């Protein structure tokens, strides 16, 4: 079947023309898809019945599909498993937090960046999601209508699938689409620069850079991307953009005991980031089967945070959510046996 979900106005116009509809039908279909969120072409009742039938005969469907499994954490976080690509499922994580409701969405089935500490990367890459697959994660979870924020921090490296990610962001932010403010969207990247450059040039969404060490040799030992796109070059690029007014910039820093968590690292990180308007999110490492690192203690993390703050860099320790259902940072693997339906305790 050919999906309508994920198509922009131009593409919907081409579909409309193919079934004999006038150009304005593209906006009608967009409203049904992205505002009213229909699940079936027959629900598009202001399209002629003949045109709806023709769409179906030509192999079109809305393209919505529901999760195949769900797990609920004792802290209220919920993880949803969807069919993905190449035989590998993908996961999206719903994170309620008082007045906020954030959905962490995936952009790829697996990942080919090879970060040693990440379960997604340990399983390899099975394929890119398209814009419809990305939008479907937003629309097809329970409580979809309550969402206040989106983060591209699930499975995959968004800048490694930049065409689909940009297409999805266009739909999410366009007046004819979901009409969200770009400030409600954050895209996480490890700094694959060609895609990152396009994200900066073509959107105003917030950006989060997965940093994890200020030293090139140490970062390269756990993140192969450092050898292709050095952190110093990535930071230099970020300095050319306005993160004080147009969007926010954050640094994701997972802390590993004895590897990147002493004050030498904190001071070097402060020097690296000075003048960037970036804030640092310190993340407790969640142990994964394929990596022998250990999480830093709370005391060490607090000392690291205080050192950054004392050196003019705003830093906070991110609360860990959903670890009991393998939904925390670095733990998404797209495994059916890891996402069975649970009751919160």
Residue 79 phi, psi dihedral angles, 5° rounding: -115, 135
Q: How far apart are CA 323 and CA 73, in angstroms?
A: 8
Q: Catalytic: 115?
A: no
The string of DSSP letters for 54-100 reads HHHHTTEE------SEEEE-TTS-EEEEEEEETTEEEEEEEEEETTE
Residue linked to tokens 């060609």 = 194
**CA-based R_g, the chain, Å:** 21
Q: What residues pair up with 108 in beta bridges, in sequence order?
A: 128
Contact between 90 and 129 (Cβ < 8 Å):
yes
Query: Could you tell me which residues come within 8 angstroms of residue 309 by beta carbon, excluding any fewer than 6 positions away?
Result: 315
Q: Indicate the SS3 state at residue 167.
A: helix
Measured on CA atoms in the order 248, 249, 253, 254, is the torsion positive or negative?
positive
Give the C-alpha separation, 232 to 215, whole Å: 9
Q: Is 118 a catalytic residue?
A: no
41: its two tokens? 């072409």
Q: How far apart are CA 240 and CA 201, in angstroms?
A: 11
Q: Which one is catalytic: 57, 257, 329, 343?
A: 329
Question: Which one-letter DSSP state was computed for residue 295?
Answer: B
Q: Which two tokens stand for residue 62?
A: 């809305």
Distance of CA 102 to the CA centre of its chain: 11
Element (H, E) at 277: none
Please tell me which residue in 70, 91, 157, 226 is annotated as part of the active site. Answer: 91
Catalytic annotation, residues: 91, 329
């Amino acid at each position: 079947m050919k999906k309508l979900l994920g198509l922009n106005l131009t593409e919907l116009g081409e579909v409309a023309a193919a079934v004999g509809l006038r150009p304005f039908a593209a906006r009608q279909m967009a409203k049904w898809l992205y505002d009213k969120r229909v699940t079936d072409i027959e629900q598009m009742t202001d399209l002629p019945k003949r045109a709806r039938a023709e769409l179906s005969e030509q192999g079109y469907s809305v393209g919505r599909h529901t999760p195949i499994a769900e797990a609920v954490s004792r802290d209220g976080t919920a993880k949803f498993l969807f069919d993905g690509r190449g035989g590998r499922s993908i996961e999206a994580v719903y994170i309620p937090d008082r007045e906020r409701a954030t959905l962490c969405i995936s952009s790829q089935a697996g990942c080919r960046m090879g970060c040693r500490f990440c379960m997604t990367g340990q399983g390899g890459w099975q394929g890119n999601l398209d814009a419809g697959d990305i939008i479907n994660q937003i629309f097809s979870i329970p409580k979809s209508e309550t969402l206040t924020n989106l983060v591209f921090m699930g499975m995959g490296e968004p800048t490694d699938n930049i065409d689909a990610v940009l297409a999805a962001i266009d739909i999410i932010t366009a007046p004819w689409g979901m009409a969200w403010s770009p400030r409600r969207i954050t895209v996480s990247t490890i700094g694959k620069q060609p895609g990152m450059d396009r994200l900066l040039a073509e959107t105003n969404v917030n950006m989060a850079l997965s940093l994890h060490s200020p030293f090139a040799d140490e970062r390269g030992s756990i993140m192969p991307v450092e050898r292709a796109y050095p952190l110093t070059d990535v930071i230099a690029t970020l300095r050319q953009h306005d993160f004080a007014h147009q969007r926010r910039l954050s640094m994701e820093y997972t802390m590993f005991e004895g590897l990147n968590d002493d004050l030498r690292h904190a001071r070097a990180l402060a020097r690296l980031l000075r003048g960037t308007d970036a804030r640092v999110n310190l993340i407790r490492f969640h142990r994964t089967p394929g990596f022998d690192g250990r999480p830093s203690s709370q005391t060490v993390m607090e000392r690291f945070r205080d050192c950054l703050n004392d050196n003019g860099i705003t830093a906070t320790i991110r609360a860990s959510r959903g670890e009991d259902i393998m939904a925390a940072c670095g733990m998404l693997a797209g495994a059916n046996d890891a996402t069975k339906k649970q009751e919160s305790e």
